Amino acid sequence: MDINLDNLFKEAEKAANNAYAPYSKFRVGAALLSQDGTIITGANVENRSFGLTICAERSAVVKAVSMGLRSYIAIAISTPDSKIPVGPCGACRQVLSEFMEPSSPVIFGGSSDERIRSTTGELYPYDSLHDLAKA
């Protein structure tokens, strides 16, 4: 399957508009590309109890799993309220590694045209627990 990361990023930008971020004022949108070509989007949803906040990346994964989709080949993350690219947090990296191959493309960027292209494996190296589950 041909992966168009620019189009996927545009979907993440649109998803950021749905974020609920009244406390941080930091919107995040994610667009996850499933193995079958479906694009699933998510947005961050904050809570007064910040520990209950869910990131856009995990929002997209939870939505996808709820739809019966469990294999993803790429993700794009948009942080329009930042001038610089902001990568996924550690919890999101862990969750993405559960469902994506280490070679899966990851693209993230802020409000400028600067974007970083990486892979799940580069963001989450030495994924020993995931490797053990395959053994």
| Residues carrying an active site annotation | 57
Cβ proximity of 81 and 27 under 8 Å: yes
d(CA 109, CA 131): 29
DSSP type of residue 89: P
CA nearest to 59, candidates 77, 74, 71, 73: 77
DSSP letters for 32-88: EEETTS-EEEEE-B--SSGGG-B-HHHHHHHHHHHTT---EEEEEEE-TT-SS--PP
